[in-house]
Chain A
């Protein structure tokens, strides 16, 4: 995990679309070297970054041509022998504006976290041994010149894309190899439920949050699934971030619980709270980096929840899971903690219609949420990841296209980011996001989603007023900014 590795390649502004192609061609045509070679190198660099071709393949493919063009191929043919990428090389490439700005860690620290370090190695391997390139000056080819040709395209993408080749260990070699294993210490073959959430697909209707409330009858103000709304300065549209519990593989909430009420179910990795044991110390809530826990502060309305619950559950016994533990549904007693259960009652229902589904997934009108076993290649989330992978792949594939035709109407290629949230805390979250990741410049919209106006089918309010006891000033901050 490295926080220094620049997170680069994900801005759609600088994807490898027609604009990019145009720009690159322009720059490349100004230098004496082979434009096509530059472009091709760049494409292959991207393929390499997606794991479509191996590093050796990449080097061998172009070694001759590079030799021919520059008189020397200083790129290491044995990637393991490479030295760290020369900082100047990266910076030059960045300055040439081929790749997006690095994303520091203001909002989504995950941007810089995860296995970024690992990805960085990829960048080093392929991006070329900086020193080697510098040495070229002796051969009459200045580093700057080489960068202008190959560098604009290849080195830029190499430094950018390769360093992000696998930013958080989500996918690799076209196969989502690094999907988290199930419970701690178990192998990758076991069931581990999780979400793949396409935040770019999200339209911000909070249907998931409402669907969850209806299904689980959670307390007023509790939003087991929550949709954030934010804005990027360089994008016109509003962005959304859907936040359920991450059902972490290394959940701090489980470690800190003094009574083992919070636990991780070994058979499928769901993180649950045993409502019969929880003493309401709220330490799990404190330790969770994502703020997904909701306490039962007041006395639940017994009549209301019972009626409502029975309207979509067979019996109140649905609150017991298959182990007989009271973990499903909301916490129907005051003073205990609750959070997203991955609709454990559905998973344990024995009904194939309900198994491997969640209320939020079903409620989403645009299919942004994909729930299932992350370790099963045929599961919905894995299939969706592959589909996304395909989208990226297609975007990067120029084979058969007339790259010399300036009028060709290409579909704008799209490299779709996949990431996990705030991985730097070592929680190993099991929610994989697809789509835009909040940048350092992300800003909250002035008007957040109007949760207080949403009403669930059962009349639950999404926010909680604390009338009678709320003597807090209206300002959020304790310090009382004015």
Chain B
């Protein structure tokens, strides 16, 4: 196991811009805020950064999904990189850029990589609702969307609702159980100054929230924001003398598939992310029971249940009962989950918020939301492209 590339990489610094909905700052300014914070956090200067990567490639369409390019950020920040990467959605999801950075430092292409994820979806919505697929000016749909959009399934909520219904039907799970993913996130977001929604909600509030695409309700869906999260990934040799105790990457896992894109297999009750979970645990001697905090992707609440099972933190069909009541996943529970509020209440940092929060916990910076004795974090991102990390400080 010692020769795994991820064992030659560490997270050495993190940064996150102020959240906005919308933000008064431009996307490049938000990116610079997060990047400067991350580099300073690591105890480095921009002159030390010799690699840069982001997810996904900049696009001027798509409603602010990726408003800042990797080259643009490099020049704005005065970085002179020898290695430059940008991952796409046709890869292991949001974490693709992190995996690329890990491999870049592990293979000696560079020593310190700035990795960032910028979003400006709140600003884009204000400017033009038509910037999304829904109201887009394109006459016809093609590619994967051609198989769903003609049937009005214009939102990912529609696709994930199919999974939620199938999961409910197969396992007898209920909205009253699923809702605890949202309630738990909101409870933790109240303790996170940079979360977008901080007013507590109860399970009754959840059940009273309007149905978007049955059985998914308003509180099952995350929310668009403007902001940027940045990380510094350093080669292990260069990480030891820096400001923070390096966060070691114990293992990583990745997969692609599902949500009806390409040929669909299975019965809609499990994610192809199970392959990412298998890969993750095949690369470590640690076991799921060793995890003491879990940052589980929650673009939609049902993804959290499916990911808990994909990562083997719950047995198939048991995640709904595991989150029910919110006790076992609470900050003082057996597996504190989405401790910063996740995306449902923290905002759609698009995966990177989960990795950021794992680092907050492992460095003991959580303040009122700190998990006592946090030493091993499981982090996962994605629906379609899937990535998972096991992070540790000890």
Chain A complexes with chain B: no
| Residues of chain A having any CB pair with chain B under 8 Å | none
